Amino acid sequence: MGLRAYLSSIGLATVLAWFGWAMIILNIGPREAGVTGFVMFYATLVVALIGTLTFFFSVFRVYILRRSVIEREIRTAFRHGVLCSLIAIVSLALSSAGNFSAWYSFLLIAVASIIEYLFLQAHHGRG
């Protein structure tokens, strides 16, 4: 799959995920939705965030930074999109439970940084 086809497909999937998330927001009340509504809200939001961030990170790494190994850049952009999305989702979940503080932000960023470091070390060991 070429870069344009990849960006087009991830863009379309992301738009559909944002549409699904908006439908959940508009049509499901948080009080009567229960666990299913809660899970659907976070599931569609995480998919939409991963798609959005992966799309923008891919465009940034390939077109703005002019990196040449496109497959590696897309893989890295996806990993960064997942990590950033998980930070946002965990922060939102903690906030909705009333347990969020700045220390949790630092902890989440530190955990994501350690995960990224481990990925970089594993890649460095292979190549």
pLDDT tens figures, 20-66: 999 998 988 766 788 888 889 999 999 999 999 999 999 999 888 88
Closest CA to 46 of 23, 27, 20, 72: 20
Q: Which domain holds residue 64?
A: 3-126
Please give the pLDDT value at position 104.
93
Q: Per-residue confidence at 97, pLDDT binned at 50, 70, 90? A: confident
38 close to 70: Cβ distance less than 8 angstroms: no
| Claim: this prediction has a pTM higher than 0.85 | yes
Domain count of the chain? Answer: 1
pLDDT digits (tens, 9 = 90+) for 102-125: 999 999 999 999 999 999 998 776
